[in-house]
Amino acid sequence: MFLFFLFRKNCWENHFGREMYKLYMFDFIASICITLLFDLPTKFLKETCPSCWLVRLSGKQRFLIPFNVLDLVYNQTVLWVGVFYCPLLPFLGLVKLVLAFYFKKFKVLRCCVPEERMFRASSSAVLFHFMLLLGLFMAVATLGLDLHIPKPSSCGPSEGSTRVLNVTGICVASLPGPAQFTLRYVASEAFVMPLIMAEILILSVLVILGRANRGNIEGLKKLLVMCSADKPFLVERCTLLLEDHAAAKERDSLNRSVGPPDPSTDLPTDPTAP
């Protein structure tokens, strides 16, 4: 699509940004329509007429986590590619993600049945990361090719410039003096190098904390195993103590029922007594 609009040479940046906006919004509208016009009526039909042939043909509705993750990767790729040509696309993406979350939640709770086995993220993590990295490469290639075009189109902010990057210098030169100084300082090595060092320090601290927490987790797992191994012994000891206590109580009750011995029967008899 990018190459198609690139060879048109007539306001192709505006047309390409418009198509990215259409792709992003069409995916959101399609997901809403599928939920409201297919998933929800199918659920109502299953509740009202479970023996219908259409219900048996459609089968059980499940929330497929891999397909939904790939849908998020697709939206992120479209956002990366089109953000340079449609600056309001990140705001629309934020609104879309918030609304899509509640629609997905409604779909899971109302229309889908629980999975029989738990989903393991490790089985598909490599595919998800590869697709996301591929989308990032596509966005970088698109932007890099656009920045190195010798003559941009006659529309947009780059109108009248030999390159797209020249517009940045013109916009910075039109700002007040303090704003120009701040932007030049942010773009200089004096700001970038401390920022990189601070990021490396923060990442190192987070990695060390993660390793320490992982060690604590392993220790707690071993302690949990030891506690679970001690449970049968403790239960056996408690059972023996309860049995001994019950036997002692039984002996006490038996002694109370018999009563104390009669002291008159224990007195010695006098042979001289009449």
Tens digits of per-residue pLDDT, 225-270? Answer: 777 777 777 777 788 888 777 777 777 777 766 655 555 555 455 4
**HEC string for the chain:** CHHHHHCCCCCHHHHHHHHHHHHHHHHHHHHHHHHHHHHHHHHHHHHHCCCCHHHHHHCCCCCCHHHHHHHHHHHHHHHHHHCCCCCCHHHHHHHHHHHHHHHHHHHHHHCCCCCCCCCCHHHCHHHHHHHHHHHHHHHHHHHHHHHCCCCCCCCCCCCCCCCCCHHHHHHHHCCCHHHHHHHHHHCCHHHHHHHHHHHHHHHHHHHHHHHHHHHHHHHHHHHHHHHHHHHHHHHHHHHHHHHHHHHHHHHHHHHHHHCCCCHHHHCCCCCCCC
Query: How is residue 235 written in tokens?
Result: 């239960």
pTM equals 0.59
Tens digits of per-residue pLDDT, 128-146? Answer: 888 888 888 888 887 777 7
Report residue 273's pLDDT band, with 50, 70 and 90 as the boundaries. very low
Single-letter code of the amino acid located at 238: C
pLDDT of 20 higher than 70: yes
Query: How is residue 206 written in tokens?
Result: 């987070």
pLDDT of 4 higher than 90: no
Q: Give the mean pLDDT of the chain.
A: 77
pLDDT score for 198: 92
CA distances (Å), origin 7, targets 22, 50, 183? 20, 55, 34
Asked whether 63 and 114 are in contact (CB, 8 A), the reply is: no
Distance, in Å, from the CA atom of 151 to the CA atom of 265, rounded to the nearest integer, reads 130
Query: How is residue 197 written in tokens?
Result: 């060092």
Report the C-alpha dihedral over residues 259, 261, 265, 268, rounded to 10 degrees: -170
CA distances (Å), origin 156, targets 47, 159, 247? 55, 6, 95
